[in-house]
Chains A and B, each alone.
Chain A
């Protein structure tokens, strides 16, 4: 393929700011179309496969931020990285953010990127990701990133074509993804490839398709609707209509002129972008007029229209009590606790025990921004963050690093029961330095038994699990499978290294029942001679979480 056929790249196979933005959008769409497929690459019998959605949300945050950036390619790339870091979800999202950060550092100061610079950027991205992950594991997105970068360097040495370089990188990524089960035994056991690696491959593919002029799919992705927009809507209660967002391409687009025209349609006018790609936002009773304007000026890329009155009702219903003021406040000495919690019951209990709760849905994957927001709502000088899941740890650490002028520590709890134990151990008036060791010790003394139904047949560790059967884990390790709740909880309890001497707490999940919880409580009472408390956790899975301490 020669340079002239690089349809969407500029003269000489160069990519400039506008093309970078557009290609990110395309990759975002492409990744969204694949996200369910990526999610389905589960390696564990519990359906917590959220890699696709997490990578998509991370990339969308990157693309959104890139959309708002003016200036050179380097500036847009920095914005992209910033957006990714702030919006990163889950481990795969966090690694993706590191990748984008490495890429952006390499592109700093450049107006355009050619094949060699692209290869150098991909290499820096992979290196940054390896450096930032405390325990890099081969057979994951890291391997895929490195192989893609290696291939890109080789291609760029031989050909100046950006598309060729991207194609080689994509081919290498595909080969690396196929190889992941050989590198990571747990993947092989479950007969899947690595979800994060596949996500990265899809992302590269999306960019490649954009530059080759191939379609990436329909414009159903709601881009740019972020929490701050939602808050804006909560305040704009005097105006009902349609929140209309349109992304469109054109030539010699003038933001000021467009803003003026939009102002005639409604309120809350925003227009960001540059002369050939523009995103507009307006609250209007005539969304059609906005679309007409966009088609008159160019070509619509994407549209999102929300009925704000309905949104307002939903939003108001979700906000119990007044919106908390964000005004600066004087902080009391001592330690506040921020806890990530999933499930209405867990969230209520954490809040009642005086934690500031990061409420997540579906999976334990808060963004850095959500954790930062929770830290912002605390009222003591020091803060301890409890991620309560391995998937939330990196976001918690990233958030902790970003807070200036306050001591923010992370106690790396890996389950909500452990987080609860850590929370109860806090001395609110003592500084974080005094609290963290005690909280970590309390968390380590708390054991967590989980009982769930397997969604696929697999061999996990020493335990064979049949699809649809029950299985129990103790501190994340599978210990038994079977059909009897009683037998499972007894099996799990006998695996406890030191007998508990305090209390067991059963947290019933969304699909669990009080009767089963009682079946679980009875053997714990008689076997371990401890108190058993039954609470509603409301977690989507597993059906029963039992803390034993």
Chain B
């Protein structure tokens, strides 16, 4: 077999497709929780994770995949393919990209191409999907990389969440710390863009914050793709998806559930929209 194999990590969420159908290899990050070392999506499903998050008083921690796993994956894939394109969660948010890069250097730097997606969750899923589709059609690695580099700057995630506590606890609060510590009940609206999490606005109630997310997305102009991402609030996500579909004039908006690793850092109650802006 020849062609280009596509690798991503388990922080990628897929809305309406399955990575296996696209022959995408997903390398799991790990969730360390008490005495448990759980491989994301292998040892723990997303619904098991949120169930435990609600009840377990212990705080989970996340870790990038071990170097050895990446080396093994790359070696295995290179035995059958000309090249590997490996696209991962933003280097600003996780060590995964740097571990993958080290593995690529160890295996075959000329044939393993590691890409920093500067994003995660559903928008990372799109990158892996686009790369896989091009690979399936026989595109060479450079064409695939070119396509990804073209998409990455156009990715946005607008979201609201119940609390900044998880982001702060996991050390991923970044610029959103400008919203920490208030005395009023507010729901933060954040934007993930170019690998950074930006504070956008504080809204007094969740329904209004969700509306605000949709409004801001509307102001972003034409989009090539759009999807809802949520953590443990599927009913709200469904209602929201219908509203966003009406707003954006599309028949449906797919929904993805945020996996355990990103969920560890956001907590439950994230409702957001991923966008690929039109060129």
Q: Do A and B bind each other?
A: yes
Interchain CA distance A45-B77 in the complex, whole Å: 81
Assess the B199–A420 pair: CB atoms within 8 A. no
Which B178-211 residues sit within 8 Å CB-CB of chain A? Answer: 178-179, 181-186, 198-205, 207-208
Does A502 sit within 8 A of B, measured CB to CB?
yes
Does A486 sit within 8 A of B, measured CB to CB?
no
With known contacts A428-B175, A429-B175, A535–B199 Cβ distance under 8 A: no
Interchain CA distance A505-B184 in the complex, whole Å: 9
With known contacts A352-B182, A353-B182, A353-B183, A549–B199 Cβ distance under 8 A: no
Number of chain B residues whose Cβ lies closer than 8 Å to a Cβ of chain A: 19
- Looking at the assembled complex, report how far the CB atom of B213 sits from the nearest CB atom of chain A, in whole angstroms: 13
Interchain CA distance A354-B175 in the complex, whole Å: 13
B 42-86 to A, binary, CB cutoff 8 A, 1 in contact else 0: 000000000000000000000000000000000000000000000
Assess the A549–B183 pair: CB atoms within 8 A. no
Assess the B186–A424 pair: CB atoms within 8 A. yes
Does A148 sit within 8 A of B, measured CB to CB?
no
Residues of A within 8 A of B178 (CB): 354, 428-429
Residues of B within 8 A of A424 (CB): 184, 186, 201-204
Residues of B within 8 A of A420 (CB): 184
Assess the B208–A502 pair: CB atoms within 8 A. yes
Assess the A426–B201 pair: CB atoms within 8 A. yes
Residues of A within 8 A of B205 (CB): 502-503, 531
- Looking at the assembled complex, report how far the CB atom of B152 sits from the nearest CB atom of chain A, in whole angstroms: 20
- Looking at the assembled complex, report how far the CB atom of A259 sits from the nearest CB atom of chain B, in whole angstroms: 49
Closest to A427 in B: B200
Residues of A within 8 A of B199 (CB): 427-429
Residues of A within 8 A of B198 (CB): 427, 429
Residues of A within 8 A of B185 (CB): 503, 531, 533
Residues of A within 8 A of B182 (CB): 349, 352-354
- Looking at the assembled complex, report how far the CB atom of A415 sits from the nearest CB atom of chain B, in whole angstroms: 16
Closest to B180 in A: A354
Closest to B202 in A: A424
Interchain CA distance A549-B179 in the complex, whole Å: 20
How many residue pairs bridge A and B at CB < 8 Å? 56
Residues of B within 8 A of A427 (CB): 198-201
Does A348 sit within 8 A of B, measured CB to CB?
yes
With known contacts A354-B178, A501-B208, A425–B201 Cβ distance under 8 A: yes
- Looking at the assembled complex, report how far the CB atom of A442 sits from the nearest CB atom of chain B, in whole angstroms: 8
- Looking at the assembled complex, report how far the CB atom of B172 sits from the nearest CB atom of chain A, in whole angstroms: 16
Interchain CA distance A501-B204 in the complex, whole Å: 10
Of A352, A438, A503, which one neighbours B204 at CB under 8 angstroms? A503
A 346-389 to B, binary, CB cutoff 8 A, 1 in contact else 0: 00110011100000000000000000000000000000000000
A 493-509 to B, binary, CB cutoff 8 A, 1 in contact else 0: 00000000111010000
A 417-449 to B, binary, CB cutoff 8 A, 1 in contact else 0: 000100011111100000000100000000000
Residues of A within 8 A of B202 (CB): 353, 424-425
Residues of B within 8 A of A425 (CB): 201-202
- Looking at the assembled complex, report how far the CB atom of A448 sits from the nearest CB atom of chain B, in whole angstroms: 14
Assess the A353–B200 pair: CB atoms within 8 A. no
Residues of B within 8 A of A349 (CB): 182-184
Assess the A549–B175 pair: CB atoms within 8 A. no
Interchain CA distance A348-B181 in the complex, whole Å: 11
Interchain CA distance A428-B200 in the complex, whole Å: 7
Closest to A345 in B: B183
Closest to B207 in A: A501
Residues of B within 8 A of A533 (CB): 184-185
B 256-274 to A, binary, CB cutoff 8 A, 1 in contact else 0: 0000000000000000000
Which A61-107 residues sit within 8 Å CB-CB of chain B? Answer: none
Closest to B199 in A: A428
Interchain CA distance A230-B200 in the complex, whole Å: 39
Which A408-422 residues sit within 8 Å CB-CB of chain B? Answer: 420
Interchain CA distance A145-B205 in the complex, whole Å: 50
Residues of A within 8 A of B179 (CB): 354
Assess the A502–B204 pair: CB atoms within 8 A. yes
Closest to B212 in A: A425
Closest to A420 in B: B184
- Looking at the assembled complex, report how far the CB atom of B215 sits from the nearest CB atom of chain A, in whole angstroms: 10
Residues of B within 8 A of A535 (CB): 183-184
- Looking at the assembled complex, report how far the CB atom of A517 sits from the nearest CB atom of chain B, in whole angstroms: 15
Assess the B181–A352 pair: CB atoms within 8 A. yes
With known contacts A428-B178, A429-B175, A501-B208, A352–B183 Cβ distance under 8 A: yes
Residues of A within 8 A of B201 (CB): 424-427, 438
- Looking at the assembled complex, report how far the CB atom of A284 sits from the nearest CB atom of chain B, in whole angstroms: 45
Closest to B203 in A: A424
Which A515-536 residues sit within 8 Å CB-CB of chain B? Answer: 531, 533, 535
CB<8 Å pairs between A and B, sample of 28: A348-B183, A349-B183, A352-B181, A352-B182, A354-B178, A354-B179, A354-B181, A420-B184, A424-B186, A424-B202, A424-B203, A425-B201, A425-B202, A427-B198, A427-B200, A428-B178, A429-B175, A501-B207, A502-B203, A502-B204, A502-B205, A502-B207, A503-B204, A503-B205, A505-B184, A531-B185, A533-B184, A535-B183
A residues sitting closer than 8 Å to B (CB atoms) are 348-349, 352-354, 420, 424-429, 438, 501-503, 505, 531, 533, 535, 549
Q: A354-B182, A502-B205 are in contact. List 18 more A-B contacts (CB 8 A).
A: A349-B182, A349-B183, A352-B183, A354-B178, A354-B179, A420-B184, A424-B184, A425-B202, A428-B178, A502-B204, A502-B207, A502-B208, A503-B185, A503-B204, A505-B184, A531-B185, A531-B205, A533-B185
The 7 closest A-B pairs by CB, nearest first: A424-B202, A428-B178, A352-B183, A503-B204, A502-B204, A353-B182, A502-B205
